[in-house]
Amino acid sequence: MIIQCFHNNILIKQIRTPFFIIAKQSCIFLFILATASAPRAQEYATDRLFMKEFNKSKCRNLVEKKINNLKKIRVMTLEQEALLNQNIWSKLRVKLPLSPGEKAQLRKLKEKGVYSNNLSAKNIKIRNSTKFKVLRHKCK
């Protein structure tokens, strides 16, 4: 009886091992097949449109951030410089003390004269608007 049980166990193990080998190989094959077919998924036209719009909106966001940073940069206008010069001359006439910035401006006036390469506020606005249009146009 013991010999018969032992013999049956050996037969069962002999039958099980090929089954497990085949099952293991088929699982590996299915895994490879599934991973290989994943990149070949169907692509819809809407996917390409979405990606195109996503890239455009990303570009627009970057451009708007850059434009906001450029808007924060303050430039002295021709009108502001004229008011500053007028204030300096008025303080000199009344003999009031000048601030360090006004002293530097006075030195610059004495060296170079009243000539200025600053633009008026209107011209600065026009220049910036054209620069911003060019930046925005790159994203179209």
Three-state SS for 57-107 is HHHHHHHHHHHHHHHHCCCCCHHHHHHHHHHHHHHHHHCCCCCHHHHHHHH
Domain membership of residue 66 (yes or no) is yes
Asked whether residue 128 falls in the same domain as residue 140, the answer is yes
- Residues 5-11, mean pLDDT to the nearest whole number: 55
125 within domain boundaries: yes
Query: Are residues 125 and 57 part of one domain?
Result: yes
pLDDT: which is higher, 87 or 13: 87
**Residue 5 forms part of a structural domain:** yes
Total number of domains constituting the chain: 3
For residue 38, being part of any structural domain is answered with no
Kindly state whether residue 80 falls inside one of the protein's structural domains.
yes
More reliable by pLDDT, 102 or 23: 102
Tell me which residue range forms the domain holding 86.
Answer: 76-118
Q: Does pTM top 0.75 for this prediction?
A: no
pLDDT band at 5 (very low <50, low <70, confident <90, very high): low
